């Protein structure tokens, strides 16, 4: 299995699904034929399907092994979840995420810490699984370290709009006594900490990794596609606070371009990891080989 190194920290991607997700014009309301035309040459076919204009996106987690902890960052969609806005995920029963995890020689009971960049369904699904009709923590020995702000927002969406994510993916963790609700800049230790990157959701956090002068950042959904390196102001139609999301994304691209920080994205086409480079008055993503 492919593990990348950040100092002594080992990081692997665990993929739940991969393929065409949504039309780029639907996903990014600012996208037009005219703006895209000069960039299709580097976007097709890996990031955009030339025939259908669908964005190609993996749904995936990162496993981070430090000398102290085995950490799961984000937990994909899961099985049996209620997902009305994206029917392909609704009540799915055949996601093989746990066997993909075991292909990396990791048993769910070995996960010490679960981190979620945010609590959307494709980042919190395997937090829980169904057992005898009840949602129970999938990772029974883990502390789930979650942004307090993000949990409050998920609870609000549940109360106000009936969004099932809180009840299915978050509340069972709190009830099991496995949740630790923290500030958005919470530091686990010198090697792993949260970095607030709000906008996509109010308590969205990226995850910073650092060891022996080597650095990496797991983006979460502050950026969804390499096309946003060229057009940082293009928001995903479901970004909660669009102005803040665009500002966070631009700051992120400025802060992490032309430097030695490995950028581990959640939804860029595989291999999903690389570095950000300045490119004229925009940016580009240079994928790892
Ligand atoms: Zn996502």
Instruction: Please report, for the domain that includes residue 15, its CATH number.
Output: 3.60.15.10
Separation of CA 122 and ligand 1 centre (Å):
5
76 C-alpha to ligand 1 centroid (Å): 8
d(CA 105, ligand 1 centre) in Å: 25
> 257 C-alpha to center of ligand 1: Å?
22
Ligand 1 centroid to Cα of residue 178, in Å, is 23
What pLDDT score does 142 carry?
A: 98
Q: How many domains does the chain have?
A: 1
pLDDT in the model for residue 94: 87
pLDDT at residue 2, rounded to an integer:
81
Amino acid 22: pLDDT: 96
The alpha carbon of 14 and the centre of ligand 1 are apart by a number of angstroms equal to 14
Measure 199 CA to ligand 1 centroid, in angstroms: 13
Question: Ligand 1 mean position to 106 CA, how many Å?
Answer: 23
Range of the domain at 17: 4-287
Phi-psi region of 190 (alpha: psi -120 to 50; beta: other; left: phi over 0): alpha
Whole-Å CA distances, 182 to 115, 141, 200, 203: 11, 19, 19, 10
Per-residue pLDDT of the chain (289 residues; tens, 9 = 90+): 689 999 999 999 999 999 999 999 999 999 999 999 999 999 999 999 999 999 999 999 999 999 999 999 999 999 999 998 888 899 999 888 999 999 999 999 999 999 999 999 999 999 999 999 999 999 999 999 999 999 999 999 999 999 999 999 999 999 999 999 999 999 999 999 999 999 999 999 999 999 999 999 999 999 999 999 999 999 999 999 999 999 999 999 999 999 999 999 999 999 999 999 999 999 999 999 8
Q: In the prediction, which pLDDT does 1 show?
A: 60
- Which protein residues have a CB closer than 5 Å to ligand 1 (ion)? 122, 221
Beta strand 273-279 with 179-182 is unpaired
């Amino acid at each position: 299995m492919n593990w990348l190194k950040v100092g002594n920290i080992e990081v692997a991607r665990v993929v739940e699904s991969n393929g065409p997700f949504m039309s780029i014009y639907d996903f990014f309301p600012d996208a037009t034929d005219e703006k895209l035309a000069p960039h299709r040459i580097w976007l097709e076919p890996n990031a955009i399907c030339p025939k259908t204009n669908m964005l190609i996106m993996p749904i995936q987690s990162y496993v981070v092994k430090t000398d102290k902890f085995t950490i799961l960052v984000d937990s994909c969609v899961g099985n049996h979840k209620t997902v009305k806005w994206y029917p392909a995920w609704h009540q799915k029963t055949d996601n093989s995420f746990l066997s993909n995890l075991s292909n990396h020689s990791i048993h769910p009971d070995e996960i010490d810490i679960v981190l979620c960049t945010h609590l959307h369904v494709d980042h919190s699904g395997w937090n829980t699984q169904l057992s005898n009709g009840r949602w129970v923590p999938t990772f029974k020995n883990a502390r789930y370290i979650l942004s307090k702000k993000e949990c409050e927002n998920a609870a609000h969406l549940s109360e106000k709009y009936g969004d099932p994510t809180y009840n299915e993916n978050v509340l069972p963790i709190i009830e099991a006594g496995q949740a630790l609700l923290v500030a958005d800049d919470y530091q686990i230790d010198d090697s792993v900490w949260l970095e607030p990157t709000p906008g996509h959701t109010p308590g969205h956090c990226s995850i910073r990794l650092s060891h022996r002068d080597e650095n990496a950042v797991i983006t979460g959904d502050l950026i969804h596609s390499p096309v946003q390196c060229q057009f940082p102001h293009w928001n995903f139609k479901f970004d909660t606070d669009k102005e803040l999301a665009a500002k966070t994304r631009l700051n992120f691209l400025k802060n992490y371009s032309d430097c030695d920080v490995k950028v581990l994205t959640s939804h860029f086409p595989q291999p999903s990891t690389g570095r950000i480079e300045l490119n004229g008055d925009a940016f580009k993503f240079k994928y790892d080989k």
